[in-house]
């Protein structure tokens, strides 16, 4: 099986062109190929497939084999791959995901995709649809107890669930300890992604991520989109922000005109290879 390694500001995945080949058991392949010691090493597996509704379809599998709805960094890479490898010349490009069909505007330089602006869609704020096991309509500055600590949490779905904590210093957070406990908390029947955010100003912040099914990652596009929304909901930030993630920066805007979140960032192709066991 031929594959391509790509990343969006360090959020790295193995991509397979399913226009030309098939993957019979993607759940098992995701576990094996994502292993950073015995596999290629990645935050998961992405299948780039034909679509009857859009230009291409993206399927995403976490390193634990679970299938996820969407990834903002991965969808930029899918658009770059599709454009540069001749799967679609459309710009804007429409990509089918587990969170519906999303539109991506490509910045082209010398016939290459230098950056992509993704319409991430409208955030879901209803607690029951995130989903969360609470009676409240929304979870904005909601109090939660973890390892004996009571913390304030704001939750948003961008097609997948996100739990956001605003803190004074993200560098001092024990992500490896807190991340799995929050991901698997009874509040979240489908588990959740977790983010810690330090606000630097009305238009700038720093964040760190524990990703559902993957653990600590260098970046999370849907997470950064959710953080943009949470900053506005808690009156900490404006609607347009620059987010600093461990792997790089993303520009976010929660548009007041259409209620959609727009994310802009780069996509990078690293190398191609052959996987022998698929």
State the pLDDT at residue 147: 80
As a whole number, the mean pLDDT across the chain is 96
Q: DSSP string spanning 123-148?
A: PB--GGGTT-S-SSS--SSEEEEETT
Half-sphere exposure in the Cβ direction for 5 (13 Å, CA): 16
Phi then psi for 227, rounded to 5 degrees? -65, -40
State the pLDDT at residue 254: 98
List, by residue number, the catalytic residues. Answer: 71, 220
Those residues whose C-beta lies under 8 Å from the C-beta of residue 15, and which sit 6 or more positions away, are: 3, 4, 5, 6, 46, 47, 48, 77, 78, 81
- Domains of the chain by range and CATH? 2-119+265-274 (3.10.310.10), 127-259 (3.10.310.10)
* 63 pLDDT higher than 90: yes
* pLDDT grade for 278, boundaries at 50, 70 and 90: low
State the pLDDT at residue 146: 85
- Of the candidates 8, 84, 78, 81, the one whose C-alpha atom is nearest the C-alpha of residue 43 is 8
State the pLDDT at residue 83: 98
DSSP helix/strand/coil, 238: coil
In 202-247, DSSP assigns E strands to 204-211, 215-217, 240-245
- Look at the block and give the residue holding tokens 């024990």: 174
DSSP helix/strand/coil, 204: strand
């Amino acid at each position: 099986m031929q594959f391509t390694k790509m990343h969006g500001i360090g959020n790295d995945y193995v991509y397979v062109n399913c226009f030309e080949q098939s993957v019979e058991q993607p759940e098992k392949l995701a576990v094996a190929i994502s292993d950073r010691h015995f596999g290629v090493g990645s935050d998961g597996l992405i299948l780039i497939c034909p679509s009857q509704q859009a230009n291409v379809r993206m399927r995403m599998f976490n390193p634990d084999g679970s299938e996820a709805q969407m990834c903002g960094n991965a969808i930029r890479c899918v658009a770059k791959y599709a454009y540069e490898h001749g799967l679609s010349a459309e710009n804007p490009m429409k990509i089918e995901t587990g969170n519906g069909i999303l539109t991506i505007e490509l910045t082209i330089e010398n016939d290459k995709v230098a950056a992509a602006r993704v319409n991430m869609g409208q955030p879901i704020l209803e607690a029951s649809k995130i989903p969360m096991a609470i009676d409240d309509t929304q979870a904005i500055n909601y109090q939660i107890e973890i390892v004996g600590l009571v913390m304030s949490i704001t939750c948003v779905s961008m097609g997948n669930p996100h739990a956001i904590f605003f803190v004074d210093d993200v560098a001092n957070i024990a992500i490896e300890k807190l991340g799995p406990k929050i991901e698997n908390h009874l509040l979240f029947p489908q588990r959740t992604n977790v983010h810690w955010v330090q606000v630097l100003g009305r238009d700038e912040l720093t964040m760190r991520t524990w990703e559902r099914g993957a653990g600590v990652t260098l970046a999370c596009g849907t997470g950064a989109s959710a953080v943009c929304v949470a900053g506005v909901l808690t009156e900490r930030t404006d609607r347009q922000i620059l987010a600093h993630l461990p792997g790089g920066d993303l520009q976010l805007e929660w548009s007041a005109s259409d209620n959609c979140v727009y994310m802009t960032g780069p996509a990078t192709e690293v190398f191609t290879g052959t996987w022998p066991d698929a």
